[in-house]
Structure 1
Amino acid sequence: MGSKGGCGCCSCLCGCLFSCLLSLIFQILFTLLVIVALVGFVFWLLFRPNEVKFRVTDASLTQFNFSTADNTLHYNLALNISVRNPNKRIGIYYDSIEANAYYQGQRFDTETPAPFYQGHKNTSVLSPVFKGQQLVTLGATEVSNFDSDKSAGIFGITLKLKLRIRFKVGWFKVGHFKPKIKCGLNVPLKSNATSSPATFESTKCSFAF
């Protein structure tokens, strides 16, 4: 009987220790969450991070021809993309940049501008050039849309940027983040026609993490 009573006490003691350990772990986790939240709030108060602003300021389209015989798109598109860092105390490392050009949902080219660092309250310009030919799949509806765009002299082209960035705050570097930028562009085709072609309008891009 005495042996059984001893086992019961050990079992009770182990249960109490386990409950105390769980309680301690939850308290530690809760404390860490509070500390992280406070650090984040203090960071926001001190640096007030603002969203980086992307805008396509100029677009030059000198060739955009689609051949139904071999489903090949021939293109020559040059863009100027303004990248504005409005923050006073935060620098940005653009470790990788991938610029993708789409027409009617079909990606026809990808360019990779060189990585760079952008300082506080600074504006940088990216100038990717999409030039060449690409096999694209356009159905009857898409071909009809192409003919309409060609007749109007303005093509709806979508630019998507995939970034990998880090933030620099003082001596500290924070990252990596992978925001996605999307720009819906209406780009006039430049030609040797005597009539003045439409001009490209500066276009703001959307920014999302």
Structure 2
Amino acid sequence: MADIQPPPNTAAANVAASVPSKEHLRTRCCYCLCKTLWILLVLVIVLVMLVILVFYIIITPRSFRFHVTDTTLTQFDYAANSTLRYNLVLNITASNPNKKLKIYYDVVQANAFYGGVRFSTTDINMPWNSYLQDKKGTNLFSAVFSGQHVMVFDRNQVSDFHEDTNDGVFPIDVMIRFTIRFRLEAFQFGYYYPRGMCELKVPLTSKGEKVVPFKVTKCRIDF
């Protein structure tokens, strides 16, 4: 008589098959951990970027403002030997519009042009080198151009010079070169090199009086 085999325990087999192995559990744990760490890393990066953005918006460096408020031109003569003799003084106000940042002016150098030709270079007079301007502050500086310079004018330029002399007003452009830094509390940062252009109509000054009043001129600053 043949032996009768007991039926397989299908329920136990199914339970055993449904229980994950240790290797499978380890893989799932590593996956979950990596996923969690990756999400945390992304959140930290986004948070840092938001903090930097908010900080930048709050203290974004804003360009200063330069105005030429007055001029004194006591000499501007062009001699037959192609020499321009000049004596020009500019009064300048510099305003810092930043609410959080102070400005260090390390270099402020001015170049004067007539007819598109540079005839003089000078440093803006400041109380000392590397002048610190306070937040929302406005300061008065001056620039002095004095001396002589050889300038070879063509016939049209000589004619324009004579017309300006008769009018008593000379179109003089002043280009200003800056080297500045910003200061936030005890921290200094940057070195910035903006440029300024002041397109002036300078009246001749004779015996302390101008031929026509000088109009305050705002300089264009490329920051």
- TM-score higher than 0.5 here? yes
Please show how residues 1-209 of structure 1 align to structure 2 within 5 Å: 38=50, 41-67=53-79, 69-113=80-124, 114=126, 115=129, 116-192=131-207, 197-209=211-223
1:20 corresponds to which residue? none
Partners of 2:81 and 2:47 in 1: CA distance:
61
Normalised by the size of structure 1, how large is the TM-score? Answer: 0.77
Return the offset for 1:38.
Answer: 4.5
Normalised by the size of structure 2, how large is the TM-score? Answer: 0.72
Unaligned runs of 5+ in 2: 1-44
Residues 125-171 of structure 1 show CA distances to partners (whole Å, capped at 9, x for unaligned) of 11111111111122111111101100111000001110000011122
Unaligned runs of 5+ in 1: 1-32
Residues 172-200 of structure 1 show CA distances to partners (whole Å, capped at 9, x for unaligned) of 2111110000000001111249x972010
Residues 87-138 of structure 1 show CA distances to partners (whole Å, capped at 9, x for unaligned) of 1110011111111111011111111134311111111111111111111122
Contact 1:106 1:137 in 2 (8 A): no
- Count of matched residue positions in the alignment of Structure 1 and Structure 2: 177
Q: Calculate the aligned-residue CA RMSD, in Å.
A: 2.5
Return the offset for 1:51.
Answer: 2.5
From the superposition, tell whether residues 178 and 48 of structure 1 become closer, same or farther in structure 2 (CA, over 3 Å): closer
Partners of 2:222 and 2:204 in 1: CA distance:
30
**Percent of aligned pairs with the same residue?**
41
Return the offset for 1:48.
Answer: 4.7
- Name the larger-Rg structure: 2
Letter of the structure 2 residue corresponding to residue 204 of structure 1: K
Partners of 2:132 and 2:65 in 1: CA distance:
15
